[in-house]
Chain A
Amino acid sequence: GDSVTQMEGPVTLSEEAFLTINCTYTATGYPSLFWYVQYPGEGLQLLLKATKADDKGSNKGFEATYRKETTSFHLEKGSVQVSDSAVYFCALSDPVSSGSARQLTFGSGTQLTVLP
């Protein structure tokens, strides 16, 4: 079945540091890939997405590139801020395996704390 593996947290960085959160996946078909962010006390918000190989999703200074050859979708940001402190979830949607259920398969989440 489909699965998403994320880098274990928690991750603690100083403000303006470079961020990478690793995400790799296994899927039956050609999935769409997503990063969601969850701020304290809130639901999940879509951060960025990529729907085919070599696509780069970007938003709010975050980027991730869909790498089919390494089955990866690593999240990066060049300079993090305190306000980026949140839990980050990698997810995929595989139309081959999810069928009419249209499920997302989530990773376990990575807690990021940015210190001033």
Chain B
Amino acid sequence: ETGVTQTPRHLVMGMTNKKSLKCEQHLGHNAMYWYKQSAKKPLELMFVYSLEERVENNSVPSRFSPECPNSSHLFLHLHTLQPEDSALYLCASSQAAGGNNEQFFGPGTRLTVL
């Protein structure tokens, strides 16, 4: 595998379910990001991990819980979601320091909450 991978690519869940999104990067980066992309809305940054420490949490509801066990893996745990949480969830990675912060994105997980 190369680049940034995300699983699953599609997920349908009920409001009472618990599920997790997984992201893995094979680029040797040490910063990872979760974004939410909804129809007709700008890309929203949700969480940033730099050197495995969360450095940004943009007022995201607690029903979204990120986890970064190491610099290559990032999870987004989902619990008691609402229909308005249906969106494309994108993961990205970059180098935390130096460089120009070029971010590499995964293909996304298309989430539908029923």
Residues on A facing B (Cβ under 8 Å):
32, 34, 36, 42-46, 49, 51, 89, 93, 95, 98, 100-104, 106-109
CB distance from A106 to the nearest CB of B (A): 5
Which residues in chain B, 73-110, are within 8 Å of chain A measured between CB atoms?
Answer: 90, 92, 94, 96-97, 100-108
Let me know if B101 and A42 touch, CB within 8 A: no
User: What are the 6 tightest A-B residue pairs by CB atom distance, in nearest-first order?
Assistant: A32-B100, A93-B101, A43-B105, A44-B105, A101-B56, A43-B107
1/0 contact string of B21-41 vs chain A (CB within 8 Å): 000000000010000000000
CB distance from A92 to the nearest CB of B (A): 9
Max chain B CB contacts within 10 Å: which of A43, A100, A104, A106?
A43
Q: How far is the CA of A45 from the CA of B90 in the complex (A)?
A: 12
Let me know if A34 and B102 touch, CB within 8 A: yes
CB distance from B53 to the nearest CB of A (A): 9
CB distance from B13 to the nearest CB of A (A): 20
Say yes or no: A32-B106 contact (C-beta < 8 A), given A102-B48, A102-B96: no
CB distance from A44 to the nearest CB of B (A): 4
Q: How far is the CA of A43 from the CA of B107 in the complex (A)?
A: 4
Which residues from B are CB-within-8-Å of A51?
100
Q: How far is the CA of A64 from the CA of B43 in the complex (A)?
A: 22
CB distance from B42 to the nearest CB of A (A): 5
Let me know if B55 and A106 touch, CB within 8 A: no
Let me know if A43 and B90 touch, CB within 8 A: yes
Give the size of the chain B interface in residues (CB under 8 angstroms): 24
Q: B45 at interface (Cβ–Cβ under 8 A)?
A: yes
Contact of B108 among A43, A95, A101 (CB under 8 A): A43
Say yes or no: A102-B94 contact (C-beta < 8 A), given A51-B100, A93-B101: yes
Q: B50 at interface (Cβ–Cβ under 8 A)?
A: yes
Which residues from A are CB-within-8-Å of B96?
100, 102
Let me know if B105 and A101 touch, CB within 8 A: no
Contact of A101 among B42, B43, B50, B102 (CB under 8 A): B50
CB-nearest residue of chain A to B110: A41
CB-nearest residue of chain B to A89: B43
Which residues from B are CB-within-8-Å of A100?
50, 55, 96-97
